[in-house]
Structures are given as structure tokens and as C-alpha cells.
Amino acid sequence: MTTRRGQPALPLDFNLPRDWREIQGRDGRTYLQFTTHMVTFYEQTYGEHSRFFMALRGGRLIGSKCTTCAQVMVPAATWHCPNCNFAEMREVELPHRGILAHTAPVTVFPSASFIGDAPFARGYVDVATDAPIASYLPSRLRTTTGLERPGIFVKGIELKLVFEDERVGSIRDIFWVPMTEIPPPLRNKQPLLASELNFASPVPPEVKKDPAKAAAKDRAMAAMRKLASDVERSRRAQADLANRAFVLGIKTGGGDFALDVANSRLLIREGLPDKSDFILVADDPDVFRAWVNDGSLTDAAVEGSLWLPNKEAFQVLPALDRLPRSTRRDLREAK
């Protein structure tokens, strides 16, 4: 979901042509359906929340603190304490560090408005840690180590608040990054801007080489070569790859290889390619054998057993995931 100014509130391709169409019911009869919509536009006031979002625009994080019980609400959802007979709450400046309140989920299948953003992580951050009672801030969570995946955003880790360089007054103006990923000189900087961190070229994880993994890699190579040759004889699989061209360099604990898609064909080569679109890392090469045996590279990425540098790399996986099923169906029909 974009937060840039000037773009249409509803993306232009988020639409359907007017249509009245006959469709068949389960009872074999013909029914009629039509395309329509239920869209409302808003010029929505932030009202009492305006102070919170104005503060974000200014690179500050504020909450509301009760003058009676000292509880802190962040975001400042109200200025009258619901626990103290609506006693006055006053603005309080909050630190740019917090604790992740619970292990956070990573969303892979988002709703229609967020397709293209996935995978992404969101969770609740305990910011007003000094307050006896405090709400948690619903937050975007990001890592500089590649794609958001399980194992990073676990309960209790310390987080650093980061501000987008261009801020509009949205909860998406901010996000949190594990403190361990922040270079020490930047840890106390307020506000820390997104442009001061490197999200564009994450360092791939190290793999541990060993002979068992080398043998596993050989098995994976054999399985993938078989798949590649099946693709040559499968119209469905060729359709899956149509109009796609990319080179993946893949590092594993059993050795490296390249996966090349062009002209509706799949090519498997030993070693890392000179030029690749993405470098993927899997300590266990068996990830690729499992893929060929009706597994899924998407699932491996979701689990974290396959490392991806960014969301663009994630987008190439669904087409690859369709290949084993497509080839199997075509070859079975050919028999």
C-alpha cells in the first residue's frame, strides 16, 4: 500500500469492466451475474489522533499519559483515561526504542489492497516500558538482512524506531528494525531515517559446507535436471514460464548452482552465474529436491529455509512452484 501523495487513492487497475454474464449453477441451470462495486471515498479527519500523526511527521513519537494512574497509551488513542473516570491525559514524548511484545507473524497472502507488499511482518511493540500500564504500538517490522521471515521478530528483542525520509502523517511513516542490525553510532540517533540504513543490498547468510550436504546437492541437481527435461515436453509448464526471463544464483551448503529461465525453458547449471538477477541461499540443498517432488520454494521461503534478498525475488517463486505439477499432469496425459 502506497503512502505517496498525489497517487490515486484507489489504484486505477483496481476496477472491473461493466458486464452481465450467464453462469451455470450446480443444478445445471443458467443464472445471471453482473459486475458492480461498493466503493466510498473519504476525506477522513484524524481528529483527536492528529497530534500523534503530526508528531510522526516531525520525527517524534508521542503517547498520552494519565495524570491519575500514569498509564501510557501509544498510539495516543484517547486524551481521557478510560480507567480513571476519564481523567485528563497529557502528551508524553516516547523513546525511539522498544521491545517486541510477542513473536510476530509474517503475512504471505495479504488482502487485495496489499498484494505486492508480501511477505511483510507486523507486530506489537512495547514502547512505554517505564510506565506501570501501557498499550502496545501496532507496527511494521523490517529487517536489513533480506526478506522478513520467521526467527527474526521473536518476543523480547529490542527494536529501533526508524522513520521514512518522506513522511505524510501515516502509521506507515514509521517501522521498527532489530537493534542488533543498527550500526552502533546510529543506535541513539533520533529520528533515524530509513535512508541511513541499507535495505537494498542485504548480506546473504553464510552456509556451512559439509559432505552430506554435497551429496544432497547432487541428488537435488539430478531431480532438477529431470524437471528441466520434463519442461521441454510439457505445454503447461512452458506456459508457466512464458514471457519470463531471470537468472537465479543459488548458494547451498552442498555447493552452488544456477537456475536459468528464458524462452519458456528451465536450465540448471553448476556454479554461480557471472550475472544473476537474485542470489538465493539455502544451507540445506534438499530444499530444491523437495520442490521438484511437489514441494514449494514459496513454502521454503516462508519457513525461512530458503533465503531471499527482497520481495522481487519472492515474486518469481510461484511460477517455479507450478512446474512440478504442470509437468506431471502433461506427462501423465501423454502416456
Partner 1 sequence: MRKVGIVGAGITDCRGRWIEATYWDLFQQATRRACEDAKITTAEIDSVVYGIYNDIFEHQAIPESSLTGLIGMANKPGTRVTSGGATGFYAMRTAVMEVASGTSDCVLCVGGEKATDCFDPRSKTATPMVIDTIAKSWDPFFEYPLGATASDSYMQLCMAYNDEHPGDIGDPLVRAKIVEILCHSGNRNPYAQRRDETVTAEQVMTSRWIIAPFLRLLEVCMYTEGAGAVLFASEKKAREISERSGQPIVWVRGIGAANESYSPGRGGNYKRLHRIDSDRIASERAYAAAGVKPSDIRIVELHDAFVAQLMITMGELGFVPVGRTRTLIDEGLMVDPKSLRDDQPPPSGKLLVNPSGGLIFGGHFVGGSNMFSTWSCRREMTKRKVPLGMVHGTGAINAVFGGAMILELDERSAR
Interaction residues for partner 1, span 62-121 (CB under 8 A) = 69, 71, 73, 75, 77, 82-83, 101-115, 117, 120
Interaction residues for partner 1, span 280-309 (CB under 8 A) = 295-296, 298-299, 302-304
The DSSP code sequence of 167-194 is --SSGGGEEEEEGGGS-GGGTT-SSEEG
Hey, what amino acid is at 4? R
d(CA 71, CA 92): 11
CA dihedral 122, 128, 130, 132 (to 10 degrees): -90
Determine if 66 is a binding residue for Zn ion (CB under 5 A): yes
Pick the closer one to Zn ion by CB: 78 or 190.
78
Residue 231 binding: pick among partner 1, Zn ion, none (C-beta 5-8 Å cut-off by kind): none
Say which residue the cell 511437489 belongs to: 294
Hey, what amino acid is at 18? R
Pick the closer one to partner 1 by CB: 23 or 334.
23
Q: Which H or E element spans position 325?
A: helix 317-334
CA dihedral 147, 151, 153, 155 (to 10 degrees): 170
Determine if 131 is a binding residue for Zn ion (CB under 5 A): no
Q: How far is the CB of 75 from partner 1 (least distance, A)?
A: 5
Q: How far is the CB of 188 from partner 1 (least distance, A)?
A: 24
Determine if 29 is a binding residue for partner 1 (CB under 8 A): yes
Determine if 76 is a binding residue for Zn ion (CB under 5 A): no
Q: How far is the CB of 128 from Zn ion (least distance, A)?
A: 13
Residue 51 DSSP SS3: helix
Interaction residues for Zn ion, span 78-107 (CB under 5 A) = 81, 83-84
Residue 318 binding: pick among Zn ion, partner 1, none (C-beta 5-8 Å cut-off by kind): none
Q: How far is the CB of 174 from partner 1 (least distance, A)?
A: 11
d(CA 283, CA 254): 8
Closest by Cα among 297, 225, 288 to 253: 288
Determine if 12 is a binding residue for partner 1 (CB under 8 A): no
